[in-house]
Structure formats: C-alpha cells, structure tokens
Amino acid sequence: MTDESATPEVTPEASPEITSDDKLWGALSYFALIAIIMLLTEDKKNRPFIKYHAVQAIAFSVVLAVASIVLGIIPVVQCLTPLIWLVLIWPAVGAYGGKYVVIPVITDFIKKQGWV
C-alpha cells in the first residue's frame, strides 16, 4: 500500500493491484452516501484501495459537516459554507488517479484507529 516513511500529500506511484474499477469507486466514495454503501458491500470493502478511500471520505465528510455548521453560525460567512464541500474534489481526483491521497490530520486519525 503506502510507504509510511514517506510524507507526501499524494503517493507518487499507483499500486499495480489497483484496477480501473477500484479507481472509479475510490473517487465516487467522496460522496458520503456512496462510501457508506461501499462499506456495506462485501466485495467492495475487501478491496484495500476502495476501503481506504471510503473510510477517509466518511471521516472527511464529518469534519466538513462540523465546519459547515460552525461557519453557518456567522451571518457573513453563511453564504460561503456550501463552497466548503468543493474541497472533496481534490481527494476524489487523486483517488481516480489511483493514488492513496493523504489528508493531513484525517488520514493519521483513521490509521491510528485501525480503520484502514
């Protein structure tokens, strides 16, 4: 999978066992509902690449939801809160490229919890 000694934001090489189907499902996982469905589907959750992105997408979505709620309290910033969700495009594009995208705090958290 990933080399733990390297700390780039995106791993440079895609793993050879990652199929084009894995890449597509990894990118689609950044829509939270699809990620939950993937983790409930036996054949998808057994694929390490798909599971990694699905778990990371759910954790990232929770963080973004909390940020949206907090920023939604401030009247001036309320209209900008939907733009926060555009951040999900970045890891989705990386997943579609076959890379294990590292989201700084979230990836470390899910690895320490043993979720991936």
Six-digit token string for 15: 């793993």
Residues 6+ apart with CB under 8 A from 87: 64
Pick left, alpha or beta for residue 114 (phi over 0 → left; psi -120 to 50 → alpha; otherwise beta): left
Residues 12-56 have pLDDT tens digits of 445 558 999 999 999 999 987 899 999 999 999 899 999 999 999
Q: What's the rounded Cα separation, in Å, for the pair 74 and 58? A: 25
Q: pLDDT, tens digit, for every residue of 74-91?
A: 888 888 888 888 999 999
Sign, Cα dihedral of 60, 25, 10, 90:
negative
Strand partners for 10: 101
Q: Is the pTM of this model over 0.75?
A: yes
